[in-house]
Amino acid sequence: MAVLRIGLLGAGVIGSAHAAVLQQISAAMPGCLDLTAVADPDPSAGARAQAAFGFQRVYTEGHALLDRERLDAVFVCAPTAFHAAYVEHAAERGCAIFCEKPLAMSYAEGAAMVECVERHAVPHQIGLVLRFSAVYNVMRSLLDNRNLGVPLAVVFRDDQVFPIRGVHSSPWRADRALTAGGTLIEHGVHDLDLLAWFFGPPVWLQAWQRNVAGHPGVEDYVAVELRFANGLQAQLVNVWHDMVQRPSNRRLEIFCQRGFLASDADFLGDLTCQFGDEAEGLLAATEVLQGFQELLPPSMPSALREFAGIAYLVQDFAFVEALRNGHRPQPGLEVGLEAQRLAEAAYHSAATGRGVELASYFPTTPPSARP
Ligand SMILES: NC(=O)c1ccc[n+]([C@@H]2O[C@H](COP(=O)([O-])OP(=O)(O)OC[C@H]3O[C@@H](n4cnc5c(N)ncnc54)[C@H](O)[C@@H]3O)[C@@H](O)[C@H]2O)c1
């Protein structure tokens, strides 16, 4: 099978994470990938990526890279404001696209991106990485396969430091010209997608938001109440605080009529379970990993399976495998667009103080600046 020539646009936190796992995939599957070129306007970021991951050429401008290189796939890992132009350019070049979340600066912009990749018939995947998390896959499998009864309530709490300091030291995150918004669209979009992935599309939501840090249009607190077709109610809280030592946290609790699942880990960790009249039990992280490994495709080499707790590795392996086998990668950009729609419905609800019926909410204009 021909080697896949890969380009990387944006070599910051997430671009480097992709490059690291692609390097790992390449080592486990010799002759499968070629890390061809990287582009970043910060020459030191490009040089670091070249030194660390072996990219052959470095550019300071992503469109120049797309024009000059013959690539099979590109990873769009620049700040959100640049996603649309890169995706459209790569699609015109016939290049497969992995685009980081959130898809776009607005639902309208994202809809044009989806139309473009479909028109050019290029394979595409969105970086909704929680779909490749060990603990969430095992939870989802338990929901599907154990007799937990009717899902009654979900409580989902997600907090991290405002990502302009600490691990995510990205000044653009506080600039509404470069970011799609604040904690909900730039981080909680993963959570909205996860809820839809677990329970199907929500039918209604209501949301509340605050902006305490004071970066215009970049909110740092959002609470969303969602209702699903089967009556399930979910509460999602997203917070960007200012405690640089506090790690990024998610806690997900699912209450069913005859079952309870909870985890404080979003990738790999312990899973609390209770089934029917049994006592509460714990699946240790090692058991969660084992359970997830059983769900992975047999084609995944054992040198990668043992690292399946690294969701980015599983995610990028899935993208590479889909390209190698001519399958449609999942989740595609249209899934990112749906998560963007839910986030914008939440912003609309918070601005108007009213709930939103989701079947008929398709924003046609970019959301106005948020308080
Ligand atoms: N899926 C996830 O878990 C996850 C995590 C973090 C970030 N993200 C998303 O990935 C994207 C990048 O975020 P990050 O955390 O890596 O940010 P970052 O600040 O760490 O890195 C961004 C990099 O892009 C470079 N850059 C700026 N303008 C560029 C351009 N026009 N072309 C190419 N490169 C450019 C910057 O110099 C920087 O090196 C954002 O859309 C963000 O929301 C996703």
**Residue from 8, 21, 74, 100 whose mutation best tests the ligand 1 pocket (most atoms within 8 A of CB):** 100
Q: Do the Cβ atoms of 158 and 239 come closer than 8 Å?
A: yes
Nearest CA to 3 out of 49, 51, 35, 39 is that of 35
Which atom of ligand 1 lies closest to the CA of 78?
24
Please, what CATH class does the domain formed by 132-303 belong to? alpha beta
C-alpha 228/C-alpha 106 separation (Å) is 24
Both tokens of 92, joined, read 């015109």
C-alpha 167/C-alpha 175 separation (Å) is 18
Which atom of ligand 1 lies closest to the CA of 170?
19
Please tell me the predicted confidence (pLDDT) of residue 369. Answer: 47
C-alpha 282/C-alpha 336 separation (Å) is 33
Nearest CA to ligand 1 atom 39: 12
Question: Where in the chain is CATH 3.30.360.10?
Answer: 132-303
CA of 320 relative to ligand 1 center, distance in Å? 21
CA of 45 relative to ligand 1 center, distance in Å? 11
Question: Where in the chain is CATH 3.40.50.720?
Answer: 4-129
Q: Do the Cβ atoms of 69 and 7 come closer than 8 Å?
A: yes
Residue ranges of the alpha helices (H) in 100-207? 107-119, 134-145, 183, 189-199
Torsion of CA 87, 92, 98, 104, to 10 degrees: 20
Nearest CA to 186 out of 137, 246, 238 is that of 238
Both tokens of 93, joined, read 């070049």
Nearest CA to ligand 1 atom 31: 82
Nearest CA to ligand 1 atom 21: 12
CA of 14 relative to ligand 1 center, distance in Å? 6
pLDDT tens string for the chain (371 positions)? 689 999 999 999 999 999 999 999 999 999 999 999 999 999 999 999 999 999 999 999 999 999 999 999 999 999 999 999 999 999 999 999 999 999 999 999 999 999 999 999 999 999 999 999 999 999 999 999 999 999 999 999 999 999 999 888 999 999 999 999 999 999 999 999 999 999 999 999 999 999 999 999 999 999 999 999 999 999 999 999 999 999 999 999 999 999 999 999 999 999 999 999 999 999 999 999 999 999 999 999 999 999 999 999 999 999 999 999 999 999 999 999 999 999 999 999 999 999 999 999 998 865 554 54
Nearest CA to 98 out of 322, 271, 348 is that of 322
The CATH homologous superfamily to which domain 4-129 belongs is: NAD(P)-binding Rossmann-like Domain (3.40.50.720)
Residue 275, helix vs strand vs coil: strand
C-alpha 289/C-alpha 295 separation (Å) is 10
